[in-house]
A and B are shown apart, each in its own frame.
Chain A
Amino acid sequence: MVAVLTFVCFRLRVNLTIASLLYLTVVVLLSVTYAVVGSIFVSVVAVLCLDYFFAPPLFSLRLADPLDIVALVVFLGTALLIGRLMAQRKRAEQALQKVLEELELKVQERTAELAKANDELRGEINERQLAEEALQKAQAELAHVSRVMTLGELTASISHEVNQPIAAIVTNGQVCLRLLALEMRRPDDLRTAVERIVRDANRASEVIQRIRALAKRSEPQMDSLDINEVIREAIPLVQREVFNHGASLRAELAFALPPVLGDRVQLQQVVINLLINGVEAMAPIMDRPRELLIRSGHEAGEVYVAVRDSGIGIDAKTAEELFSAFFTTKPSGMGMGLSISRSIIRAHGGRLWVSPNPDHGAAFQFTVPIYG
Protein backbone atom coordinates (compact mmCIF):
# COMPACT_ATOMS: atom_id res chain seq x y z
CA MET A 1 0.00 0.00 0.00
CA VAL A 2 2.83 2.30 0.94
CA ALA A 3 4.64 1.22 -2.22
CA VAL A 4 1.60 1.79 -4.42
CA LEU A 5 1.10 5.21 -2.87
CA THR A 6 4.81 6.07 -3.32
CA PHE A 7 4.72 5.00 -6.96
CA VAL A 8 1.51 6.90 -7.77
CA CYS A 9 2.64 10.05 -5.98
CA PHE A 10 6.08 9.91 -7.56
CA ARG A 11 4.64 9.53 -11.04
CA LEU A 12 2.19 12.39 -10.46
CA ARG A 13 5.11 14.45 -9.07
CA VAL A 14 3.17 15.64 -6.04
CA ASN A 15 5.15 17.78 -3.64
CA LEU A 16 6.36 16.82 -0.22
CA THR A 17 3.42 18.39 1.68
CA ILE A 18 0.67 16.55 -0.19
CA ALA A 19 2.62 13.29 -0.12
CA SER A 20 3.13 13.56 3.58
CA LEU A 21 -0.62 14.20 4.11
CA LEU A 22 -1.43 11.14 2.01
CA TYR A 23 1.06 9.03 4.01
CA LEU A 24 -0.54 10.35 7.19
CA THR A 25 -3.89 9.17 5.91
CA VAL A 26 -2.42 5.70 5.32
CA VAL A 27 -0.95 5.69 8.84
CA VAL A 28 -4.34 6.64 10.30
CA LEU A 29 -6.12 3.94 8.28
CA LEU A 30 -3.55 1.33 9.33
CA SER A 31 -3.61 2.27 12.96
CA VAL A 32 -7.43 1.92 12.93
CA THR A 33 -7.29 -1.57 11.49
CA TYR A 34 -3.91 -2.99 12.62
CA ALA A 35 -1.80 -3.08 15.71
CA VAL A 36 0.33 -0.28 17.08
CA VAL A 37 3.58 -1.88 15.88
CA GLY A 38 2.33 -1.79 12.27
CA SER A 39 1.56 1.90 12.45
CA ILE A 40 5.02 2.67 13.91
CA PHE A 41 6.68 0.63 11.14
CA VAL A 42 4.59 2.34 8.46
CA SER A 43 5.42 5.76 9.97
CA VAL A 44 9.15 5.06 9.78
CA VAL A 45 8.86 3.66 6.22
CA ALA A 46 6.79 6.71 5.23
CA VAL A 47 9.47 9.08 6.59
CA LEU A 48 12.15 7.20 4.64
CA CYS A 49 10.05 7.23 1.48
CA LEU A 50 9.33 10.96 1.81
CA ASP A 51 12.98 11.61 2.33
CA TYR A 52 14.03 9.36 -0.53
CA PHE A 53 11.42 10.12 -3.14
CA PHE A 54 10.01 13.56 -2.40
CA ALA A 55 12.48 15.64 -0.44
CA PRO A 56 15.28 17.11 -2.51
CA PRO A 57 17.85 15.92 -3.31
CA LEU A 58 15.75 13.06 -4.67
CA PHE A 59 16.80 9.41 -4.41
CA SER A 60 19.00 10.14 -1.46
CA LEU A 61 18.41 9.99 2.24
CA ARG A 62 20.14 13.26 2.71
CA LEU A 63 18.10 16.39 3.12
CA ALA A 64 19.09 19.66 1.50
CA ASP A 65 16.57 21.94 3.08
CA PRO A 66 16.64 22.11 6.85
CA LEU A 67 12.87 22.94 6.68
CA ASP A 68 12.34 19.54 5.13
CA ILE A 69 14.10 18.01 8.11
CA VAL A 70 11.69 19.83 10.40
CA ALA A 71 8.78 18.74 8.22
CA LEU A 72 9.87 15.11 8.32
CA VAL A 73 10.44 15.21 12.05
CA VAL A 74 6.99 16.79 12.56
CA PHE A 75 5.52 14.17 10.21
CA LEU A 76 7.11 11.36 12.16
CA GLY A 77 5.97 12.83 15.45
CA THR A 78 2.42 13.29 14.21
CA ALA A 79 2.33 9.80 12.69
CA LEU A 80 3.59 8.21 15.89
CA LEU A 81 1.15 10.27 18.00
CA ILE A 82 -1.75 9.24 15.80
CA GLY A 83 -0.65 5.63 16.01
CA ARG A 84 -0.44 5.86 19.77
CA LEU A 85 -3.78 7.64 20.11
CA MET A 86 -5.40 5.15 17.86
CA ALA A 87 -3.89 2.29 19.82
CA GLN A 88 -5.16 3.83 23.05
CA ARG A 89 -8.60 4.28 21.59
CA LYS A 90 -8.56 0.70 20.45
CA ARG A 91 -7.52 -0.54 23.88
CA ALA A 92 -10.22 1.57 25.48
CA GLU A 93 -12.71 0.20 23.03
CA GLN A 94 -11.64 -3.33 23.75
CA ALA A 95 -11.80 -2.74 27.48
CA LEU A 96 -15.25 -1.27 27.07
CA GLN A 97 -16.28 -4.26 25.01
CA LYS A 98 -15.02 -6.56 27.69
CA VAL A 99 -16.84 -4.67 30.39
CA LEU A 100 -19.98 -4.77 28.28
CA GLU A 101 -19.63 -8.49 27.84
CA GLU A 102 -19.08 -9.00 31.51
CA LEU A 103 -22.09 -6.86 32.26
CA GLU A 104 -24.17 -8.86 29.86
CA LEU A 105 -23.09 -12.05 31.60
CA LYS A 106 -23.85 -10.64 34.98
CA VAL A 107 -27.27 -9.51 33.87
CA GLN A 108 -27.96 -12.97 32.57
CA GLU A 109 -26.84 -14.52 35.84
CA ARG A 110 -28.94 -12.13 37.88
CA THR A 111 -31.95 -12.72 35.67
CA ALA A 112 -31.61 -16.44 36.21
CA GLU A 113 -31.31 -15.91 39.95
CA LEU A 114 -34.36 -13.67 39.93
CA ALA A 115 -36.34 -16.18 37.95
CA LYS A 116 -35.40 -18.84 40.46
CA ALA A 117 -36.33 -16.62 43.39
CA ASN A 118 -39.58 -15.83 41.66
CA ASP A 119 -40.32 -19.51 41.24
CA GLU A 120 -39.58 -20.12 44.88
CA LEU A 121 -41.79 -17.22 45.90
CA ARG A 122 -44.57 -18.51 43.72
CA GLY A 123 -44.25 -21.88 45.40
CA GLU A 124 -44.41 -20.24 48.81
CA ILE A 125 -47.46 -18.24 47.83
CA ASN A 126 -49.09 -21.43 46.67
CA GLU A 127 -48.26 -23.12 49.92
CA ARG A 128 -49.56 -20.18 51.89
CA GLN A 129 -52.76 -20.19 49.89
CA LEU A 130 -53.19 -23.87 50.58
CA ALA A 131 -52.52 -23.27 54.26
CA GLU A 132 -55.01 -20.43 54.30
CA GLU A 133 -57.62 -22.56 52.61
CA ALA A 134 -56.97 -25.30 55.14
CA LEU A 135 -57.27 -22.76 57.95
CA GLN A 136 -60.53 -21.47 56.57
CA LYS A 137 -61.83 -24.96 56.23
CA ALA A 138 -60.78 -25.74 59.79
CA GLN A 139 -62.45 -22.58 60.99
CA ALA A 140 -65.64 -23.38 59.13
CA GLU A 141 -65.57 -26.85 60.64
CA LEU A 142 -65.02 -25.42 64.11
CA ALA A 143 -67.86 -22.97 63.55
CA HIS A 144 -70.01 -25.89 62.51
CA VAL A 145 -69.05 -27.94 65.56
CA SER A 146 -69.76 -25.05 67.89
CA ARG A 147 -73.05 -24.44 66.12
CA VAL A 148 -74.07 -28.04 66.57
CA MET A 149 -73.00 -27.86 70.23
CA THR A 150 -75.08 -24.72 70.68
CA LEU A 151 -77.99 -26.49 69.03
CA GLY A 152 -77.48 -29.29 71.53
CA GLU A 153 -77.78 -26.80 74.36
CA LEU A 154 -80.91 -25.47 72.72
CA THR A 155 -82.66 -28.84 72.49
CA ALA A 156 -85.35 -27.79 74.94
CA SER A 157 -86.09 -24.57 73.05
CA ILE A 158 -86.10 -26.29 69.71
CA SER A 159 -88.32 -29.18 70.73
CA HIS A 160 -90.72 -26.67 72.23
CA GLU A 161 -90.77 -24.73 68.97
CA VAL A 162 -91.64 -27.88 67.05
CA ASN A 163 -93.96 -29.34 69.67
CA GLN A 164 -96.24 -26.30 69.84
CA PRO A 165 -97.54 -26.53 66.28
CA ILE A 166 -97.69 -30.33 66.52
CA ALA A 167 -99.85 -30.07 69.64
CA ALA A 168 -102.14 -27.69 67.77
CA ILE A 169 -102.26 -30.09 64.83
CA VAL A 170 -103.21 -32.99 67.09
CA THR A 171 -106.00 -31.01 68.75
CA ASN A 172 -107.32 -29.73 65.44
CA GLY A 173 -107.20 -33.28 64.06
CA GLN A 174 -109.25 -34.48 66.99
CA VAL A 175 -111.70 -31.66 66.38
CA CYS A 176 -112.03 -32.92 62.80
CA LEU A 177 -112.75 -36.44 64.00
CA ARG A 178 -115.42 -35.13 66.35
CA LEU A 179 -116.95 -33.06 63.56
CA LEU A 180 -117.01 -36.11 61.29
CA ALA A 181 -118.72 -38.14 64.02
CA LEU A 182 -121.54 -35.58 64.31
CA GLU A 183 -124.77 -36.36 62.55
CA MET A 184 -125.11 -32.78 61.45
CA ARG A 185 -122.60 -31.82 58.79
CA ARG A 186 -120.50 -28.76 59.48
CA PRO A 187 -118.29 -28.42 56.42
CA ASP A 188 -117.20 -24.86 57.26
CA ASP A 189 -115.91 -25.83 60.68
CA LEU A 190 -114.24 -28.85 59.17
CA ARG A 191 -112.51 -26.73 56.55
CA THR A 192 -111.30 -24.23 59.15
CA ALA A 193 -109.81 -27.01 61.26
CA VAL A 194 -108.09 -28.65 58.29
CA GLU A 195 -106.71 -25.31 57.10
CA ARG A 196 -105.24 -24.76 60.54
CA ILE A 197 -103.70 -28.22 60.47
CA VAL A 198 -102.01 -27.40 57.16
CA ARG A 199 -100.80 -24.03 58.44
CA ASP A 200 -99.37 -25.44 61.69
CA ALA A 201 -97.74 -28.36 59.90
CA ASN A 202 -95.99 -25.89 57.63
CA ARG A 203 -94.89 -23.91 60.63
CA ALA A 204 -93.37 -27.00 62.27
CA SER A 205 -91.65 -27.85 59.04
CA GLU A 206 -90.17 -24.35 58.75
CA VAL A 207 -88.70 -24.64 62.22
CA ILE A 208 -87.11 -27.92 61.27
CA GLN A 209 -85.73 -26.44 58.04
CA ARG A 210 -84.17 -23.64 60.00
CA ILE A 211 -82.54 -25.99 62.44
CA ARG A 212 -81.30 -28.18 59.63
CA ALA A 213 -79.72 -25.15 58.01
CA LEU A 214 -77.94 -24.44 61.28
CA ALA A 215 -76.83 -28.03 61.70
CA LYS A 216 -75.70 -28.46 58.11
CA ARG A 217 -72.10 -27.86 57.20
CA SER A 218 -72.04 -25.68 54.14
CA GLU A 219 -69.87 -23.15 52.39
CA PRO A 220 -70.59 -19.56 53.43
CA GLN A 221 -73.34 -18.18 51.23
CA MET A 222 -73.43 -14.41 50.98
CA ASP A 223 -76.86 -12.93 50.35
CA SER A 224 -78.50 -9.58 50.84
CA LEU A 225 -80.11 -9.93 54.28
CA ASP A 226 -82.41 -8.06 56.62
CA ILE A 227 -80.64 -8.42 59.95
CA ASN A 228 -83.98 -8.08 61.77
CA GLU A 229 -85.16 -11.24 60.06
CA VAL A 230 -82.01 -13.02 61.19
CA ILE A 231 -82.76 -11.92 64.77
CA ARG A 232 -86.44 -12.83 64.57
CA GLU A 233 -85.59 -16.34 63.42
CA ALA A 234 -83.00 -16.79 66.15
CA ILE A 235 -85.17 -15.66 69.05
CA PRO A 236 -87.58 -18.63 69.15
CA LEU A 237 -84.62 -20.98 69.29
CA VAL A 238 -83.36 -19.44 72.53
CA GLN A 239 -86.73 -18.53 74.03
CA ARG A 240 -86.95 -21.66 76.14
CA GLU A 241 -83.39 -21.26 77.34
CA VAL A 242 -84.27 -17.74 78.44
CA PHE A 243 -87.37 -19.02 80.22
CA ASN A 244 -85.50 -21.86 81.93
CA HIS A 245 -83.05 -19.34 83.34
CA GLY A 246 -85.89 -17.26 84.75
CA ALA A 247 -85.00 -14.41 82.42
CA SER A 248 -86.95 -12.25 80.01
CA LEU A 249 -85.97 -11.29 76.48
CA ARG A 250 -87.03 -8.07 74.82
CA ALA A 251 -86.34 -7.05 71.23
CA GLU A 252 -86.15 -3.45 70.03
CA LEU A 253 -85.64 -3.78 66.30
CA ALA A 254 -85.25 -0.66 64.18
CA PHE A 255 -87.87 -0.16 61.51
CA ALA A 256 -86.85 -0.57 57.83
CA LEU A 257 -83.15 -1.41 58.21
CA PRO A 258 -80.95 -1.25 55.10
CA PRO A 259 -79.78 -4.70 53.94
CA VAL A 260 -76.37 -6.22 54.68
CA LEU A 261 -74.37 -8.76 52.71
CA GLY A 262 -73.92 -11.86 54.80
CA ASP A 263 -74.34 -15.55 55.48
CA ARG A 264 -77.69 -16.03 57.20
CA VAL A 265 -76.68 -19.13 59.13
CA GLN A 266 -73.40 -17.66 60.36
CA LEU A 267 -74.96 -14.39 61.50
CA GLN A 268 -77.72 -16.35 63.22
CA GLN A 269 -75.03 -18.32 64.99
CA VAL A 270 -73.50 -15.11 66.28
CA VAL A 271 -76.87 -13.78 67.47
CA ILE A 272 -77.72 -17.07 69.22
CA ASN A 273 -74.27 -17.13 70.79
CA LEU A 274 -74.60 -13.63 72.20
CA LEU A 275 -78.11 -14.30 73.51
CA ILE A 276 -77.08 -17.54 75.22
CA ASN A 277 -74.02 -15.84 76.72
CA GLY A 278 -76.24 -13.07 78.04
CA VAL A 279 -78.68 -15.52 79.60
CA GLU A 280 -75.90 -17.46 81.26
CA ALA A 281 -74.23 -14.31 82.56
CA MET A 282 -77.45 -13.51 84.40
CA ALA A 283 -77.89 -16.95 86.00
CA PRO A 284 -76.17 -16.00 89.31
CA ILE A 285 -78.20 -12.77 89.64
CA MET A 286 -80.76 -12.99 92.43
CA ASP A 287 -81.45 -9.42 93.52
CA ARG A 288 -82.65 -7.84 90.28
CA PRO A 289 -84.66 -8.88 87.19
CA ARG A 290 -82.76 -10.95 84.64
CA GLU A 291 -83.43 -8.87 81.58
CA LEU A 292 -81.96 -9.45 78.17
CA LEU A 293 -82.39 -6.81 75.48
CA ILE A 294 -81.53 -7.19 71.82
CA ARG A 295 -81.51 -4.03 69.71
CA SER A 296 -80.82 -3.31 66.07
CA GLY A 297 -80.21 -0.09 64.18
CA HIS A 298 -77.89 1.57 61.72
CA GLU A 299 -75.47 4.47 61.63
CA ALA A 300 -72.47 5.60 59.62
CA GLY A 301 -72.89 3.04 56.86
CA GLU A 302 -73.18 0.12 59.24
CA VAL A 303 -75.99 -1.97 60.68
CA TYR A 304 -75.50 -2.80 64.35
CA VAL A 305 -76.92 -5.41 66.70
CA ALA A 306 -76.49 -5.03 70.46
CA VAL A 307 -77.27 -7.61 73.15
CA ARG A 308 -77.46 -6.15 76.65
CA ASP A 309 -77.74 -8.24 79.79
CA SER A 310 -78.16 -7.35 83.45
CA GLY A 311 -75.73 -10.04 84.50
CA ILE A 312 -72.51 -10.19 86.49
CA GLY A 313 -70.70 -7.91 84.06
CA ILE A 314 -67.13 -8.12 82.77
CA ASP A 315 -64.01 -6.47 84.18
CA ALA A 316 -61.56 -4.77 81.84
CA LYS A 317 -58.95 -7.53 82.11
CA THR A 318 -61.40 -10.27 81.20
CA ALA A 319 -62.85 -8.19 78.36
CA GLU A 320 -59.56 -8.51 76.46
CA GLU A 321 -59.28 -12.26 76.89
CA LEU A 322 -62.93 -12.88 76.19
CA PHE A 323 -62.52 -13.18 72.44
CA SER A 324 -59.52 -15.49 72.45
CA ALA A 325 -60.03 -19.15 71.74
CA PHE A 326 -60.51 -21.57 74.64
CA PHE A 327 -61.14 -18.75 77.10
CA THR A 328 -64.26 -19.36 79.13
CA THR A 329 -65.81 -18.28 82.40
CA LYS A 330 -68.41 -21.02 82.25
CA PRO A 331 -67.87 -24.38 83.90
CA SER A 332 -69.16 -26.31 80.88
CA GLY A 333 -68.04 -24.00 78.08
CA MET A 334 -65.45 -24.77 75.46
CA GLY A 335 -64.48 -21.13 75.06
CA MET A 336 -65.01 -21.05 71.32
CA GLY A 337 -68.24 -19.12 70.97
CA LEU A 338 -66.99 -15.56 71.08
CA SER A 339 -63.79 -16.34 69.23
CA ILE A 340 -65.78 -17.90 66.39
CA SER A 341 -68.36 -15.11 66.50
CA ARG A 342 -65.63 -12.52 66.12
CA SER A 343 -64.01 -14.31 63.19
CA ILE A 344 -67.42 -14.60 61.51
CA ILE A 345 -68.10 -10.89 61.97
CA ARG A 346 -64.61 -10.01 60.73
CA ALA A 347 -65.18 -12.11 57.64
CA HIS A 348 -68.28 -9.98 57.09
CA GLY A 349 -66.18 -6.82 57.29
CA GLY A 350 -67.58 -5.84 60.66
CA ARG A 351 -66.53 -5.62 64.31
CA LEU A 352 -67.60 -7.37 67.51
CA TRP A 353 -66.83 -5.89 70.90
CA VAL A 354 -68.04 -5.71 74.47
CA SER A 355 -68.60 -2.78 76.77
CA PRO A 356 -69.83 -2.60 80.36
CA ASN A 357 -73.29 -1.17 81.07
CA PRO A 358 -73.53 1.93 83.26
CA ASP A 359 -75.53 0.02 85.89
CA HIS A 360 -75.26 -3.77 85.63
CA GLY A 361 -74.03 -6.33 83.18
CA ALA A 362 -72.43 -5.98 79.78
CA ALA A 363 -73.39 -5.18 76.20
CA PHE A 364 -72.04 -7.14 73.26
CA GLN A 365 -72.33 -5.35 69.98
CA PHE A 366 -71.47 -6.15 66.39
CA THR A 367 -71.63 -4.24 63.15
CA VAL A 368 -71.88 -5.28 59.52
CA PRO A 369 -71.46 -2.82 56.64
CA ILE A 370 -74.59 -1.82 54.73
CA TYR A 371 -74.83 -3.57 51.37
CA GLY A 372 -75.19 -1.48 48.26
Chain B
Amino acid sequence: MKDADAMVFVVDDDSSIREAIKNLVSLVGLGVETFGTAQEFLRSERPDVPGCVVLDVELPGLSGLDLQRPIIFITGYGDIPMSVRAMKAGALEFLTKPFRDQELLDAIQHALERDRAARQHSRESAELHERFDGLTSREREVMSLVVAGWLNKQIGFELRISEITVKIHRGRVMNKMGAQSLAELVKMTEKLELPTAKDQSAKTK
Protein backbone atom coordinates (compact mmCIF):
# COMPACT_ATOMS: atom_id res chain seq x y z
CA MET B 1 0.00 0.00 0.00
CA LYS B 2 2.48 2.59 -1.16
CA ASP B 3 0.66 5.71 -2.08
CA ALA B 4 2.54 8.89 -1.33
CA ASP B 5 0.02 10.89 -3.31
CA ALA B 6 -2.71 10.17 -0.80
CA MET B 7 -3.12 12.13 2.43
CA VAL B 8 -4.57 11.10 5.75
CA PHE B 9 -5.71 13.96 8.00
CA VAL B 10 -5.85 13.08 11.67
CA VAL B 11 -7.96 15.33 13.89
CA ASP B 12 -7.87 14.49 17.61
CA ASP B 13 -7.45 16.72 20.66
CA ASP B 14 -5.15 14.17 22.31
CA SER B 15 -1.56 14.61 21.16
CA SER B 16 -0.60 11.04 22.12
CA ILE B 17 -3.29 9.62 19.87
CA ARG B 18 -2.33 12.01 17.07
CA GLU B 19 1.32 11.00 17.25
CA ALA B 20 0.56 7.30 17.42
CA ILE B 21 -1.75 7.33 14.39
CA LYS B 22 0.68 9.51 12.46
CA ASN B 23 3.41 6.97 13.20
CA LEU B 24 1.33 4.06 12.04
CA VAL B 25 0.02 5.71 8.90
CA SER B 26 3.36 7.07 7.75
CA LEU B 27 4.85 3.61 8.28
CA VAL B 28 2.69 2.25 5.45
CA GLY B 29 3.83 5.04 3.16
CA LEU B 30 0.88 7.38 3.27
CA GLY B 31 1.16 11.10 3.72
CA VAL B 32 -0.24 12.24 7.05
CA GLU B 33 -1.02 15.55 8.73
CA THR B 34 -2.40 16.06 12.24
CA PHE B 35 -4.65 18.70 13.79
CA GLY B 36 -5.75 19.37 17.36
CA THR B 37 -9.15 20.83 16.52
CA ALA B 38 -11.68 20.63 13.70
CA GLN B 39 -11.34 24.38 13.14
CA GLU B 40 -7.58 24.08 12.72
CA PHE B 41 -8.18 21.41 10.12
CA LEU B 42 -10.72 23.50 8.22
CA ARG B 43 -8.43 26.52 8.19
CA SER B 44 -5.48 24.53 6.83
CA GLU B 45 -4.54 24.50 3.18
CA ARG B 46 -5.01 20.96 2.01
CA PRO B 47 -3.30 19.56 -1.05
CA ASP B 48 -5.67 18.53 -3.84
CA VAL B 49 -4.97 14.80 -3.65
CA PRO B 50 -7.06 11.81 -2.63
CA GLY B 51 -7.43 11.80 1.11
CA CYS B 52 -9.50 10.89 4.12
CA VAL B 53 -10.05 12.23 7.62
CA VAL B 54 -9.54 10.27 10.84
CA LEU B 55 -11.63 12.22 13.31
CA ASP B 56 -12.29 11.94 17.03
CA VAL B 57 -16.05 11.99 17.36
CA GLU B 58 -15.83 13.67 20.76
CA LEU B 59 -14.29 16.84 19.41
CA PRO B 60 -16.41 19.90 20.05
CA GLY B 61 -17.82 21.84 17.12
CA LEU B 62 -18.29 18.93 14.74
CA SER B 63 -21.97 19.31 13.97
CA GLY B 64 -22.70 20.67 10.52
CA LEU B 65 -19.13 20.26 9.35
CA ASP B 66 -18.61 19.57 5.68
CA LEU B 67 -15.14 18.14 5.47
CA GLN B 68 -15.41 17.17 1.77
CA ARG B 69 -13.62 13.87 2.39
CA PRO B 70 -14.52 10.42 3.60
CA ILE B 71 -14.43 10.34 7.40
CA ILE B 72 -13.32 7.55 9.70
CA PHE B 73 -14.59 8.30 13.18
CA ILE B 74 -12.70 7.13 16.22
CA THR B 75 -14.16 7.21 19.71
CA GLY B 76 -13.32 6.25 23.25
CA TYR B 77 -16.54 4.41 23.82
CA GLY B 78 -19.09 3.69 21.16
CA ASP B 79 -22.61 3.87 22.45
CA ILE B 80 -25.61 3.94 20.17
CA PRO B 81 -26.41 7.68 20.21
CA MET B 82 -22.82 8.40 19.40
CA SER B 83 -22.69 5.99 16.47
CA VAL B 84 -25.92 7.44 15.17
CA ARG B 85 -24.43 10.90 15.38
CA ALA B 86 -21.30 9.77 13.62
CA MET B 87 -23.23 8.09 10.85
CA LYS B 88 -25.34 11.20 10.38
CA ALA B 89 -22.17 13.23 10.14
CA GLY B 90 -21.14 11.00 7.25
CA ALA B 91 -18.94 8.38 8.86
CA LEU B 92 -17.53 5.75 6.59
CA GLU B 93 -16.19 3.73 9.50
CA PHE B 94 -16.61 3.93 13.23
CA LEU B 95 -13.73 2.57 15.29
CA THR B 96 -13.52 2.27 19.07
CA LYS B 97 -10.23 3.13 20.77
CA PRO B 98 -8.06 1.19 21.20
CA PHE B 99 -8.43 -0.23 17.68
CA ARG B 100 -6.43 -2.83 15.80
CA ASP B 101 -3.89 -1.23 13.48
CA GLN B 102 -5.04 -3.29 10.51
CA GLU B 103 -8.62 -2.22 11.12
CA LEU B 104 -7.66 1.43 10.89
CA LEU B 105 -5.40 0.89 7.88
CA ASP B 106 -8.12 -1.06 6.06
CA ALA B 107 -10.61 1.67 6.83
CA ILE B 108 -8.16 4.27 5.55
CA GLN B 109 -7.53 2.27 2.39
CA HIS B 110 -11.23 1.92 1.82
CA ALA B 111 -11.77 5.63 2.39
CA LEU B 112 -8.96 6.58 0.03
CA GLU B 113 -10.42 4.38 -2.71
CA ARG B 114 -13.76 5.98 -2.14
CA ASP B 115 -12.23 9.45 -2.37
CA ARG B 116 -10.25 8.51 -5.44
CA ALA B 117 -13.40 7.27 -7.16
CA ALA B 118 -15.29 10.37 -6.12
CA ARG B 119 -12.54 12.57 -7.45
CA GLN B 120 -12.43 10.58 -10.69
CA HIS B 121 -16.17 10.99 -11.00
CA SER B 122 -16.12 14.68 -10.35
CA ARG B 123 -13.21 15.15 -12.71
CA GLU B 124 -15.10 13.34 -15.49
CA SER B 125 -18.19 15.27 -14.73
CA ALA B 126 -16.25 18.53 -14.87
CA GLU B 127 -14.77 17.50 -18.21
CA LEU B 128 -18.17 16.61 -19.58
CA HIS B 129 -19.57 19.92 -18.44
CA GLU B 130 -16.69 21.66 -20.14
CA ARG B 131 -17.37 19.81 -23.39
CA PHE B 132 -21.06 20.46 -23.12
CA ASP B 133 -20.40 24.16 -22.53
CA GLY B 134 -18.50 24.15 -25.85
CA LEU B 135 -21.69 23.28 -27.81
CA THR B 136 -23.73 25.97 -29.57
CA SER B 137 -27.33 26.34 -28.50
CA ARG B 138 -28.50 24.73 -31.77
CA GLU B 139 -26.18 21.78 -31.16
CA ARG B 140 -27.58 21.39 -27.63
CA GLU B 141 -31.11 21.37 -29.02
CA VAL B 142 -30.17 18.69 -31.53
CA MET B 143 -28.36 16.69 -28.87
CA SER B 144 -31.28 16.66 -26.48
CA LEU B 145 -33.59 15.40 -29.21
CA VAL B 146 -31.10 12.82 -30.43
CA VAL B 147 -30.67 11.25 -27.00
CA ALA B 148 -34.44 11.28 -26.61
CA GLY B 149 -34.48 8.86 -29.57
CA TRP B 150 -35.81 11.17 -32.29
CA LEU B 151 -35.01 10.49 -35.93
CA ASN B 152 -33.05 13.08 -37.96
CA LYS B 153 -36.14 13.79 -40.03
CA GLN B 154 -38.27 14.49 -36.94
CA ILE B 155 -35.59 16.70 -35.50
CA GLY B 156 -35.35 18.67 -38.77
CA PHE B 157 -39.09 19.14 -38.80
CA GLU B 158 -39.20 20.16 -35.16
CA LEU B 159 -36.39 22.68 -35.47
CA ARG B 160 -37.40 23.75 -38.98
CA ILE B 161 -34.04 22.88 -40.50
CA SER B 162 -33.06 20.42 -43.25
CA GLU B 163 -32.17 16.84 -42.47
CA ILE B 164 -28.67 17.46 -43.83
CA THR B 165 -28.17 20.31 -41.37
CA VAL B 166 -29.38 18.03 -38.55
CA LYS B 167 -26.79 15.44 -39.60
CA ILE B 168 -24.03 18.06 -39.60
CA HIS B 169 -25.04 19.28 -36.11
CA ARG B 170 -25.29 15.71 -34.89
CA GLY B 171 -21.80 14.91 -36.17
CA ARG B 172 -20.40 18.01 -34.46
CA VAL B 173 -22.11 17.07 -31.16
CA MET B 174 -20.64 13.55 -31.29
CA ASN B 175 -17.26 14.99 -32.10
CA LYS B 176 -17.26 17.76 -29.46
CA MET B 177 -18.59 15.51 -26.72
CA GLY B 178 -16.14 12.79 -27.68
CA ALA B 179 -18.87 10.16 -27.91
CA GLN B 180 -18.22 7.05 -30.01
CA SER B 181 -21.83 5.96 -30.17
CA LEU B 182 -25.33 7.14 -29.46
CA ALA B 183 -25.39 4.95 -26.35
CA GLU B 184 -22.33 6.72 -25.03
CA LEU B 185 -23.92 10.09 -25.65
CA VAL B 186 -27.01 9.02 -23.73
CA LYS B 187 -24.82 7.99 -20.79
CA MET B 188 -23.07 11.34 -20.88
CA THR B 189 -26.40 13.12 -20.82
CA GLU B 190 -27.32 11.12 -17.71
CA LYS B 191 -24.06 12.09 -16.05
CA LEU B 192 -24.66 15.71 -16.98
CA GLU B 193 -28.11 15.37 -15.47
CA LEU B 194 -29.66 17.38 -18.27
CA PRO B 195 -33.39 17.54 -18.83
CA THR B 196 -34.18 15.19 -21.68
CA ALA B 197 -36.41 16.15 -24.56
CA LYS B 198 -39.07 13.65 -23.63
CA ASP B 199 -41.43 16.39 -22.51
CA GLN B 200 -41.01 18.04 -25.86
CA SER B 201 -41.71 14.85 -27.76
CA ALA B 202 -44.82 14.30 -25.71
CA LYS B 203 -45.95 17.77 -26.64
CA THR B 204 -45.63 17.23 -30.40
CA LYS B 205 -47.54 13.97 -30.42
Contacts and interface: CB of A to CB of B under 8 A. Distances in A.
Interface in A154-197: 156, 159-160, 163-172, 174-175, 178-179, 189, 192-193, 196
B14 interface: yes
B99 interface: yes
A171 B21 contact: yes
B39 interface: no
Given A159-B76, A159-B77, A178 B27 contact: yes
A200 interface: yes
B55 to A, nearest CB: 14
A1 B20 CA distance: 130
B101 A178 contact: yes
Q: Which 5 A/B pairs are nearest by Cβ-Cβ distance?
A: A167-B97, A170-B98, A168-B16, A171-B20, A174-B101
Main secondary structure of the interface of A (DSSP, over half): helix
Nearest to B79: A156
Interface in B128-164: none
B14 A168 contact: yes
Nearest to A179: B27
B87 interface: no
A172 B76 contact: no
A174 B24 contact: yes
A156 B79 CA distance: 11
A240 B16 CA distance: 18
Contacts of A203: 16
Contacts of A175: 20, 23-24, 27, 101
Contact of B100 (A168, A174, A192, A248): A174
Contacts, number: 71
A166 to B, nearest CB: 6
Contacts of A172: 20, 23
B19 A164 contact: no
A311 to B, nearest CB: 18
A165 B97 CA distance: 10
Residue in A160, A164, A189, A248 whose Cβ sees the most chain B Cβ within 10 Å: A164
A168 B74 CA distance: 12
A243 interface: yes
Contacts of A196: 16, 19-20, 23
23 contacts: A160-B58, A160-B77, A163-B97, A164-B17, A164-B76, A167-B97, A167-B98, A169-B98, A171-B21, A171-B24, A171-B101, A171-B104, A172-B23, A174-B24, A174-B100, A175-B20, A175-B23, A175-B101, A179-B27, A189-B23, A189-B27, A196-B20, A203-B16
Interface string B1-39: 000000000000010110111011001000000000000
B58 A165 contact: no
A319 B21 CA distance: 49
Contacts of B104: 171
B47 interface: no
A166 B98 contact: yes
A121 B98 CA distance: 66
Contacts of B77: 156, 159-160, 163
Contacts of B97: 163-164, 166-167
